[in-house]
Amino acid sequence: MLTRFKVVRTPEEAAKTSRAPYDYVLLCIKALPDVYDIASIIESVVAPQHTCILINTTHSLGVESYLEQRFPTNVVLSLVAGAELSQVGASEFEHKGSADIWVGPANRNPSIPASIQSDMAEALAMTLSSGQVDCKVSTNIRQQQYERMIG
């Protein structure tokens, strides 16, 4: 089924334009929990016990815990990208290395069965793979985080 999309400027605007709850919220921001509260930014689009929160942790460690505390009934997954980007000019980037992506829960949430956490990661990986994205589910996403950060 093909659905229409709409570009919005804020999560609040997205919440107003959608009739159904979002299945996934993808965070591709610099996670600075001591500077701003990521959870308060996205709370208007997170439906309890429904929305899976996916945060890009390619260059960070431990930021998932802030979201897990704020949304204890939602699955929080980490995403680690293997791609290396280098800026070679103004608005010009060079893509190097692997385009692999890994997803998986960083922490086991005792409020959510492990099977649901892994099923959400598997469903996301399958969806991305159907779009030709090389996405793998990790049972130990911390390994990919450390390998990506340390090399």
DSSP state of 46: P
Class of domain 11-150: alpha beta
Report residue 9's pLDDT band, with 50, 70 and 90 as the boundaries.
confident
How far are the Cα atoms of 39, 87, 88, 110, 150 from residue 26, in angstroms, in the given order? 12, 24, 27, 22, 24
Share of the chain above pLDDT 70, in %: 96
Higher pLDDT, 35 or 52: 52
How far are the Cα atoms of 21, 78, 110 from residue 54, in angstroms, in the given order? 15, 6, 18
Q: What is the pLDDT of residue 1?
A: 47
Q: What is the mean pLDDT of the chain?
A: 88
Closest residue by Cα to residue 105 from 52, 149, 59, 69:
52
Tokens of 23: 């299945």
Distance CA 102, CA 13 (A): 30
pTM summary value: 0.85
Domain positions in the chain are 11-150
